[in-house]
Structure 1
Amino acid sequence: MAEIIGVIEQLWRYPVKSTGGERLDSVEVDERGLAGDRLYAVRDGSGRFGSGKNTRRFRRMDGLLRLSSRLGHRLDGPELFDPLGRPVADPDAFLRAYLQRPDVALAREDAVSHLDQLPVSVLTTATLDWVRRAAPSAVVDERRFRPNILLRTPPDTPPFVEDGWFGREARGSARSGARLTFVRASERCAMTTVAQPGLPHAPEILKAIAQAHDGRLDALAEIAMPGRLGVGDTLSLV
């Protein structure tokens, strides 16, 4: 018998990688993840993508998290917003001036994925509430952890309940059709502590997660079956 593990309270996608995202009421889910999620990135002249860290694929670009992006119902290009929430008329020109990098531009994903890890991140309210208790001096908000799905869990659900889902499959409500296969947790980095609009710098958050849970937080999932997810839908383990 299927076990309901929670109700979708929030849906998020991040049209431009490493910028603030947009909340959705519902969204199509395909093999890549939520439609339009991380579909674009800020790419430099060497082909690396703007991120909060330096790797072979990614280049650290401080300040991206103070921006936000939105697709709405369009997948033909994102809207970019400055740190005050104002729309940017020319994203490429703005990014070059804002980042003080003459070689950057918005790029749509092609052969190289913009995803850091797996397609979908699910975070529970039980775990988010634990972070608030563990770092009482910090302003804790789901935006720090950039989930695609914030899942409202039943009262008294223990924190890190997500760990028990790895290797299992979850399905949405009957109307949804979508299925997720949970694989592992995200390994959190300093990006969770970085200031963004309404959220000051908070290094104590990462310290608490590192001490209590080896720096891991959420459940990362692959898409087992495409479909549609909406706020208010249940997720059930099968």
Structure 2
Amino acid sequence: MLIGHIKEIVRHPVKSFRGESVPKSRIMDYGLYGDRSHAYIDDTKNGDFLTITQFQEMVGYQARFVGEESMDEYPRVEVTTPEGKVFDWQDRELIREMEDKSERNISTRQYTPSHVPIGPIAVEHVLLATDASLDKVQELWGRDEVDLRRFRPNLFISLLDKKPFIEEEWIGRRIRIGTEVEMQFVGHCVRCMIITVNPDNAERDPSLHKTLIKENNNNFGVYASVVKTGDIRLDDEVHLLD
């Protein structure tokens, strides 16, 4: 059954940095090619990943791949700071800037194109959200426009039937995207403080989180595991399988 189309594809080359919207992506066993494949490590906290939870200004840093993609190695990762400066993601000047702002010691970690463990990705391979659910959250919040980047989905689906939170009813079922890729919905995305951070200025407003807790049990979006790998593109049809 046709349920909609892919409206946006977003990958995050660096965990907790702003992602990049791309016209197409290879879907690997772990999710989108290169998603959360590079990460900063908080060396003051037993080597945990540095995330927006500890350093909320991370939302203002934009990461993107520059160069040809291959299965042997990732392209170079370029980072644009909130002030507009451009660095390689491992540039010591960039890391010193982040260390000064966060008051932490930071190191780097990266994975290979063929394998990114679940740890840096999150709970499951791919996070999906729908336009109907985003519009409903906007209505319930009743304040500023809800920026999709607060929720950090990989795939944003435009539904034919604009029923809010319908994707939660599909947990346990499979979808096909385009002609090759299949995924299975596996669970809710339970939200944390990250959605309270404005992607444009890194300021926090807890009211959005409180609204989601009250109105939808603190859930927004659904996780999916990859069943069949392949290529996806913007506007690909999304079919719910029997």
TM-score relative to the length of structure 1: 0.88
Is residue 165 of structure 2 the alignment partner of residue 163 of structure 1?
Answer: no
CA-CA distance at 1:217 after TM superposition: 0.7
Flag the 1:132–1:38 CA change in 2: closer, same or farther, 3 A.
same
Contact 1:124 1:151 in 2 (8 A): yes
User: What secondary structure does 2:210 align onto?
Assistant: helix
1:62 maps to amino acid? Q
Unaligned runs of 5+ in 2: none
CA-CA distance at 1:106 after TM superposition: 2.6
In the TM superposition, what whole-angstrom CA distance separates every residue of 1:25-81 from its partner, at most 9, and x where no partner exists? Answer: 00000101000000011113332111133xxxxxx2232111110014441441111
**Which of 187, 209, 213 is the matching residue for 2:216?**
213
Unaligned runs of 5+ in 1: 54-59
**Which of 64, 69, 76 is the matching residue for 2:63?**
69
Is residue 87 of structure 2 the alignment partner of residue 88 of structure 1?
Answer: yes
Q: Give the Cα–Cα distance (whole angstroms) in 1 for the partners of residues 85 and 32 of structure 2.
A: 25
**Which of 98, 105, 108 is the matching residue for 1:106?**
108
- Counterpart of 1:183 in structure 2 is 186
1:64 maps to amino acid? M
Contact 1:96 1:105 in 2 (8 A): no
Contact 1:139 1:199 in 2 (8 A): no
User: What secondary structure does 2:119 align onto?
Assistant: coil
Q: Give the Cα–Cα distance (whole angstroms) in 1 for the partners of residues 95 and 135 of structure 2.
A: 35
Aligned residue-pair number: 227
Flag the 1:199–1:160 CA change in 2: closer, same or farther, 3 A.
farther
- Counterpart of 2:151 in structure 1 is 145
Q: Give the Cα–Cα distance (whole angstroms) in 1 for the partners of residues 233 and 117 of structure 2.
A: 29
Q: Give the Cα–Cα distance (whole angstroms) in 1 for the partners of residues 232 and 92 of structure 2.
A: 32
2:55 maps to amino acid? M
CA-CA distance at 1:230 after TM superposition: 0.6
Contact 1:67 1:85 in 2 (8 A): no
TM-score relative to the length of structure 2: 0.87
Q: Identity over the aligned pairs, expressed in percent?
A: 25
- Counterpart of 1:57 in structure 2 is none
User: What secondary structure does 1:208 align onto?
Assistant: helix
Root-mean-square deviation (Å): 1.9
Q: Give the Cα–Cα distance (whole angstroms) in 2 for the partners of residues 120 and 93 of structure 1.
A: 32
Contact 1:123 1:219 in 2 (8 A): yes
